[in-house]
Amino acid sequence: MTCTLGEVKQRADFIVYWGGNPAECHPRHFTKYTIMQKSKFLPRGRKDRTMVLVDIRETKSAKAADIFMQVKPGKDFELITILRALIKHQHVGDDQIAETGVTREMLDDLVQRMKSCKFGCFFFGMGLSMTRGKHMNSAALLTLAAEMNAFTKFVAMPMRGHGNVTGADVIMRWQTGYPFGITFNRGYPRYNPGEFSTVDVLVRGDCDAAFIIGADPGATMPQPAIDHLKRIPTICLDPHITHTSKLARVHITTAAQGISAPGTAYRMDELPLPLKPALKSPYPTDEDVVRRINKAISEKPFWLPEGSQPQMITAQV
Amino acid sequence: MTINLHLKQAPSVPLEAEVLSPNVMAELSNSEIRALVVYHGKRQVPLEEFFDVDGERSYELIIHGELNKVRLIGRAMSRGTVTVHGSVGMHLGALMTGGRIEVHGDASDWIGAEMKNGFIHVHGNAGGQIGAAYRGALAGMKNGTIIVDGSAGLEVGMRMRRGTIILGGPAKDFTGLQMKGGTIILQSGAEIRTGAWMNRGTIISMKPLQMMPTFAYASDFNPTFTNVYAKQLKPHGIDLPFAGSDGTYQRFAGDLSVPGKGEILVWQPA
Amino acid sequence: MLRITGGKIYDPANGIDGHVRDICINDRGKIVDSVDGGRTINASGMIIFPGGVDVHTHVAGGAMNFARAMTPEDHRRTQAFIRTQSRRSGLGGMAPTTFATGYLYAGMGFTTVNEAAVPVLSARHTHEELADIPIVDKATLTLMANNEIMLDQMEAGEYERAKNVVAWYIWAAKSYGVKAVNPGGVAAWKWGSDAKQMTDSIDGYNSLTPGKIVTMLATICDDLGLPHPMHLHCNNLGAPGNISTTLDTLKHLEGHRAHIAHSQYHAYGGDDWDTMCSATAQLAEYFNTHPNITTDAGAVLFGDTVTITADGPWQHLLYKLTGRKWGNLDVENETGCGIVPYTYRPSNLVNAVQWASGLELMLLIKNPWQVFLSTDHPNGGCFWRYPEIIQLLMCADFRNECIAKLPDKIKGRITLPEIDREYTLYEVATSMSAGPARALGLTQKGNLGVGCDADIVIYEEEDDVARMFSHPRYVIKAGEVVIEDGEIRETPEGREFLVKPSYAPETDEFMRPRFEDCYTMSFENYPVEIERIENPNMQECINANED
Ligand SMILES: [Zn+2]
């Protein structure tokens, strides 16, 4: 259901941006990976590709699109679900389609184009994944892409925000099996988004300390989460002064990743890219700091009393 | 003979207490019960640190206190009863295979998740994912009954296969998401996307619903099974209208996107 | 320093078949003639094997990591590794996490694993994951057969250039050899189609066929002197009647060394799913007459798994057959990867044929130096279930009990019921250690001779073979006791084996424009720096043509 951006650049002749505004938020996306590129398979570049934009308002990206579909706010899930029905020749009523803000003609045309392309790709942005329905909106588009493979090659890919979000996700997966929303309180990884995801833990006040690297929840999270961060000892590693560093009990200034600290960043399609620092920093890297903290902790008594071990919660009893 | 537990102090972080189950306590003496291990965050502490315990060797548990940070109560229990006077935390009765849980207060998310059988009654409000499948699992509750007198959160009955969920208050979005069977009864309706992607099963609503566009109006009818349901639900104090009452059900079929054979019945008073 | 005394040694590399002998290990983790002082392990009554070597497995990289994300329900029911002072936490199961992978392999007596499918672009990711797999030593193979830059040179008849391109990629990816998957087929899949026969044309090319790719790539591997020959995943995987494709492929390899991956999936007769049957006898016959070719079984075990291969078409077929969730991951310019959770059931005739075929190949190929234990983890079953396969190989009675549980319609479709061969311990040691080590060209592995790596597994002899092989009494890695009495004692880091085949110096400049045209990564950013490999261990290329 997913692929790398290079695949898109080389082969995708049908590209849909859903709930994103690449022209303004990911300006290099067009020129580097998607519609503007020529390739062996699509020698005429832009002319060989069709681009569709689906969004609740006509952003700058609409100008670049061949087709712009304006979906009513909060109707993305419904619209994608209608598409899932239409590709299977299920009848959906005109009134029902109209509720989403588009017409049957537009959808019939879209379905026909989706089925007749050689390689289709959905990119979805925060306009889809962070609005009402959240993960189910993304799941809907991923499902539609998977189902389209009965007709032609189709993939879907999230357009992630900035920072190495993908990197964190990738590493958590190989070390714990899960991408996020993990607890280690029983000595092994357990997963339940909504229960263990950071924002939910903070909003409910379920933690009594916070350690924050490479993020600024003080600027982005809901107020109850921020209030909880203020209540508990919060430690923040950041090269800059941020909303979070201001509310934290401890702020350790670190070298900026990629500018003065080396490492690997994972691109939104999970391809790893080396970070080669151009500058030297007087500050330690995040890695240095975490290693030193780990070392200091390892010199303290082990967190479990001698001879005891937490019990795994078994699936069945 | 019962086992009475009183919460002494509110936990500062979630307390995982799957030992609060008749299956665990039924054969234990009072001192053994007090020594059972619960997890206060990552720390393992004896149950008595948080609870006063009266009684021993019983399948009947009565728990008192504001337990909203106490999770996993009655998890995987197979028989006996758990009665809570106060509120409870997540995963109440998850994976249970039998027995009865009653909460005189509010409950949180994931109550009765993936339960196989048994009965849960929450007299207050509940959270989301009632009787649901845990992330990635194919099926949610497989049998049993969950009654919530108050409201409920997101994704009630997600991927449930069999069994019944009855809500007195309104539910939030995605009620009956990807349902595979069973019945959900909504006495006060639900917000949006009810029955989304459902495959089979029945959702009955006493109040008008905003339907997904991928449900098709099929007919007005009064199936006899609502009659049967009405009789079954009467003892729980629930009045389900049925043939002979004043009105009819509008039947919607879907979700066409699957394409599924589920149905949503919406009561239309005459 | 360590001395192991009194054990019965099975060391096929040195022809030692159950003789009692002492083994001495020096401080550098090598086997030596004698040591003074240090610990002594009394292994009287015990069985000593060289540490296991997995010639074909998938334990790290983008596809595996995608599989982990897709199977949270399996993680919940599987064995959890709870953190202790010497061990990190993790989860076992169908797609184990990195730390757990190391613990599970070592716990079963395996000390070297070969990650058999690394897409060029995610090599950096794969190495980062491998660095988090403790205890075992590792090698990686780079996926080459659908690399468009290489294919363009082959199409143009530029053999030398194609060879340079391959060598450049091996070193850039810091890998140990070449894996060819479904030559020509995966490239076609990117358009939603597939290349099935060796003479099929390939979409986007005029004269190139899968057959030509196979022959040329095998020649390149030989000419570069790679210690491990071309590692080939044949076309038409998993399809009824694919034996003809497989035999045809093997004919294109005449005169070359090669390793055929998971041959169970390539040994079917019949015309469709209803008539599918085992054709292992034909395939085994080929191996029995061609000693330069090796293979691994790719055996199937009944139960749940997640299938994950670089073979997109097969995965899509599985998805259609099962209707279960499907993840497809295409890596630019190289290969696709598909991921589907799957359950092999004895009641399913196709699965039953697959189960029997894997065992048949291991039993019908006479020379254990040619056929190795594998499940193509996780595709046919999880690697930590190898002891179950060993039991099926060693005990004909047990095998017959299992056959009796298969549906009646299986009669006439498989030859397993007619086979009464039972593996000896010596043959098991060959198939799980000495053989794969030799095929990989790792002379210091799978060998208890003086100078070799002290990777040793010691079993308490017992009748329950599956139990014995899944619970070694001691596992020693590079001279260190890592497992003792079922407990993980030490978790040293493993090494990574690399080769640097030579290529023309102008290859960099040749690659640059093509690379930047094909990929969305800058040319400078691509090659994995040697500093990024934890504990690299350079292996020499051989000159195969002069042998
Ligand atoms: Zn493989």
Please tell me the predicted confidence (pLDDT) of residue B147: 96
Mean pLDDT of C499-521: 88
Strands (E), chain B: 3-7, 15-16, 37-40, 43-46, 51-54, 60-64, 70-71, 81-85, 100-104, 119-122, 145-148, 164-167, 183-186, 202-205, 216-221, 247-254, 262-269
In a domain, C293, yes or no: yes
User: Which tens digit of pLDDT belongs to each residue from A170-206?
Assistant: 999 999 999 889 999 999 999 998 999 999 999 999 9
Least confidently predicted of A174-188, B240-254, C502-516: B240-254
Q: How many domains does chain B have?
A: 1
pLDDT tier, B243 (very low <50, low <70, confident <90, very high otherwise): low
Is the pLDDT assigned to residue B26 strictly greater than 80?
yes
- Residues in B touching A193 (Cβ below 8 Å): 135
Residues of chain A with Cβ-Cβ distance to B174 below 8 Å are: 133, 136
Summarised one tens digit per residue, pLDDT across range C191-244 is 444 445 677 777 778 888 888 899 999 999 999 999 999 999 888 788 888 898
Q: What range does the domain containing C212 cover?
A: 52-386+407-418
Torsion angle, CA of C438/C440/C443/C449, rounded to 10 degrees? Answer: -50
Strands in C82-234 per DSSP E = 90-91, 110-118, 137-143, 177-181, 231-233
Classify residue B233: in a domain, yes or no.
yes
Question: pLDDT of C527-540, one tens digit each?
Answer: 999 988 989 999 98
d(CA A196, CA C342): 29
Contact between residue B264 and residue B215 where contact means Cβ atoms under 8 Å apart: yes
Question: Contact, B167 vs B187, CB < 8 A?
Answer: yes
- The reply to whether B226 falls in a domain is yes
Residues belonging to chain C: 547
Min Cα distance C111 → chain A (Å) is 20
Q: What integer pLDDT is reported at residue A315 of this predicted model?
A: 54
Q: How far is CA B241 from the centre of its chain?
A: 22
The C-alpha angle C338, C116, A142, rounded to 5 degrees, equals 20
User: Is A205:A153 a contact under the CB 8 Å cutoff?
Assistant: no
pLDDT in tens, C6-27: 999 999 999 999 999 999 999 9
pLDDT at A162: 61
Residue B155: pLDDT above 50?
yes
SS3 C344: strand
Nearest to A71 by CA among B197, B198, B213, B210: B213
Counting as contact any 3 or more CB pairs under 8 A, the partners of B are A, C
Q: Which residue has the tokens 């392999």?
A: C105
B232-246 mean pLDDT = 76
C504, two tokens = 């023309």
Cβ-contact B158, B136 below 8 angstroms: no
How many residue contacts between B and C have a Cβ separation below 8 Å?
13
Domain covering A5-158: architecture:
3-Layer(aba) Sandwich (3.40)
Residues 6+ apart with CB under 8 A from C285: none
B135: in domain: yes
Q: What is the mean pLDDT of residues C357-366?
A: 96
Mutate to test the interface with A, among B15, B79, B114, B256 (most CBs of A within 10 A): B256
- Among the ranges given (A219-223, C202-206, C400-404), the one the predictor scored with the smallest mean pLDDT: C202-206
**How far, in Å, is the centroid of ligand 1 from the Cα of A253?**
45
How far is residue C293's CA from residue B181's CA, in Å, rounded to a whole number?
53
Residue B218 included in any domain: yes
Element (H, E) at C260: strand C258-260
Please indicate whether residue C234 or residue B163 has the higher confidence score (pLDDT).
Answer: B163
Q: Least CA distance to C69: which residue of chain B?
A: B136
Specify the pLDDT at position A139. 87
List, for residues A2-56, the tens digit of each pLDDT value: 567 777 777 888 999 998 887 777 777 666 666 667 777 777 777 788 899 999 9
pLDDT in tens, B28-77: 999 999 999 999 999 999 999 999 999 999 999 999 999 999 999 999 99
Contact criterion met (CB below 8 Å) for B185 and B222: no
| Mean pLDDT in residue range C64-91 | 87
User: C115, C219, C113, C116: which is closest to C166 by C-alpha?
Assistant: C219
B138 touches C: beta carbon within 8 Å: yes
Structural domain includes residue B118: yes
C137 part of a folded domain? yes
In the prediction, which pLDDT does C73 show? 82
Inform me whether the pLDDT recorded for B118 exceeds 90.
yes
Asked whether residue B116 is domain-assigned, the answer is: yes
Q: Please tell me the predicted confidence (pLDDT) of residue A45.
A: 74
Nearest by Cα to C435 from C308, C270, C293, C317: C293
Contact of B42 with chain C, judged by CB distance below 8 Å, is answered with no
User: Is the Cβ of C339 closer than 8 Å to some Cβ of chain A?
Assistant: no
Give chain B positions within 8 Å (CB) of A92: 213-214, 256
In chain A, where the domains are located:
5-158, 165-298
A106-122 confidence digits (pLDDT tens) = 999 999 999 999 889 99
**Is A297's Cβ below 8 Å from some Cβ in C?**
no
Indicate the CATH number for domain A165-298.
Answer: 3.40.50.740
pLDDT computed for residue A33 by the predictor: 67
On chain C, the residues whose CB falls within 8 A of the CB of A175 are 88, 90, 97-99, 132
**Residue B135: its chain C contacts at CB < 8 A?**
72-73
In a domain, B25, yes or no: no
Residue range C401-416: average pLDDT? 93
Please report, for residues A80, A309, C295, the alpha-carbon distance to residue A111 in angstroms, rounded to integers and kept in the order given.
11, 56, 46
B184 interface with A at CB cutoff 8 Å: no
Q: Is C206 on the interface with A (CB under 8 A)?
A: no
Omega within 30 of 0 (cis) for the link into C378: yes
- In angstroms, the separation between the Cα of residue C72 and the nearest Cα of chain B is 6
Residue range(s) defining the domain that contains residue B123: 109-269
Of A142-156, C314-328, C465-479, which gets the smallest average pLDDT? C314-328
Select from C134, C148, C171 the least CA-distant residue to C60.
C134
Q: What's the whole-number mean pLDDT along residues C31-39?
A: 91
pLDDT over threshold 80, residue C547: no
Mark residue C532 as left, alpha or beta (left: phi above 0; alpha: psi -120 to 50; beta: remaining): alpha
8-state DSSP, C433 = I
Please check the confidence at residue C67 and state whether its pLDDT lies above 70.
yes
Output the pLDDT for position C72.
Answer: 83
Using H for helix, E for strand and C for coil, what is the string for chain A?
CEECHHHHHHHCCEEEEECCCHHHHCHHHHHHHCCCCCCCCCCCHHHHCEEEEEECCCCCHHHHCCEEEECCCCCHHHHHHHHHHHHCCCCCCHHHHHCCCCCHHHHHHHHHHHHHCCEEEEEECHHHHCCCCCHHHHHHHHHHHHHHCCCCEEEEEECCCCCCHHHHHHHHHHHHCCCCCEECCCCCCEECCCCCCHHHHHHHCCCCCEEEECCCHHHHCCHHHHHHHHHCCEEEECCCCCHHHHHCCEEECCCCECCCECEEEECCCCCEEEECCCCCCCCCCHHHHHHHHHHHHHCCCCCCCCCCCCCCCCCCC
Q: In chain A, which residue's Cα lies nearest the Cα of C76?
A: A315
For residue A39, list chain C residues with Cβ-Cβ distance below 8 A.
517
- The answer to whether residue C313 scores a pLDDT higher than 70 is no
What percentage of chain C exceeds 70 in pLDDT?
A: 91
pLDDT of B103: 97
Q: Whose CA is closest to A234, among A203, A211, A208?
A: A211
Q: What is the pLDDT of residue C338?
A: 59
pLDDT(C326) > 50:
no
- Say what the pLDDT of residue A2 is: 56
Which C positions 243-262 lie with beta carbon below 8 A of chain A?
none
How far is it, in rounded angstroms, from Cα C331 to Cα C310? Answer: 10
- Do the Cβ atoms of A178 and C75 come within 8 Å? yes
Mean pLDDT of chain A: 87
Residue in this structure with the two tokens 């077929």, named with its chain if needed: C317
Is C450 inside any structural domain?
no
Structure tokens at A306: 């001698």
* Closest-CA distance of chain B to residue A186, Å: 6
How much is the pTM? 0.90
Of B14, B78, B213, the CB nearest to A82: B213
C192: domain CATH number? 3.20.20
